[in-house]
Amino acid sequence: MKPILIAALLAAAPASAKVVSMTPQGFESTERATVKAPPAEVYRTLVDIAGWWDGAHSYSGDAANLSIDARPGGCWCERLTDGAIEHMRIVYAQPGAVLRAQGGLGPLQAEGVTGSLTYTIKPAAGGGSELTQTYVVGGYVRQGAEKLAPAVDGVMGQGFARLVSKLETGSPTAAKRAEPSR
């Protein structure tokens, strides 16, 4: 990741972080929303990451270079002009229900950590879907999990808001951070 993008990531922590648990070695960040789209559409939109992820939070600066091969062993990858990056590896793919990837996003890739990012999709009462994003990160973080967690949570929250916006409006750019459903 370009140094300026790392700085932007570290400065991205919102005032209302959704870090639900933290230890010196790791943290869990969770987002939830109910959307009008049925589970199959939510899943299709989710795996079309280039359609909703913010290119500012990528190595290339362009979300069109991102892809998810939604099958066990598949790659959440990014093309670069002079190479490529594997951000995460898909470990569980159940269309319309679950997508789980393991790895460290952004600056976490250079730390001694691993992460498990899970999207769960369930039919909502009255139609639509309940969508949950949970990112659990653990291991050794040189600067401490308490410093990285809010920044990572901020970027993940923004990404989730863009996904929800894409599902609700057809555009990820109308995104505001989703309020948790409790």
What is the DSSP track for 61-99? S-GGGEEE--STT-EEEEEETTEEEEEEEEEEEETTTEE
pLDDT tens, 77-115?
999 999 999 999 999 999 999 999 999 998 899 999 999
Coil, strand or helix at 144: coil
In a domain, 77, yes or no: yes
pLDDT over 70 at 182, yes or no: no
Domain membership flag for residue 13 = yes
The CATH number for 131's domain is 3.30.530.20
In a domain, 96, yes or no: yes
Give the pLDDT of residue 14.
34
Phi, psi of 156 (to 5 degrees): -65, -40
Instruction: Give the three-class secondary structure for 106.
Output: helix
Q: What domain count does the chain have?
A: 1
Question: Domain range holding 121?
Answer: 3-174
The answer as to whether 182 is a domain residue is no
Q: Is residue 180 part of a domain?
A: no
Nearest alpha carbon to residue 79 among 64, 101, 57: 64
Would you tell me the crossing angle of helices 39-47 and 145-169 to the nearest 10 degrees? 120
Is residue 134, in this structure, part of any structural domain at all? Answer: yes
pLDDT value, residue 181: 42
Condensed to tens digits (0 to 9), the pLDDT of residues 6-31 reads 333 333 333 333 888 888 789 999 99
pLDDT of residue 18: 83
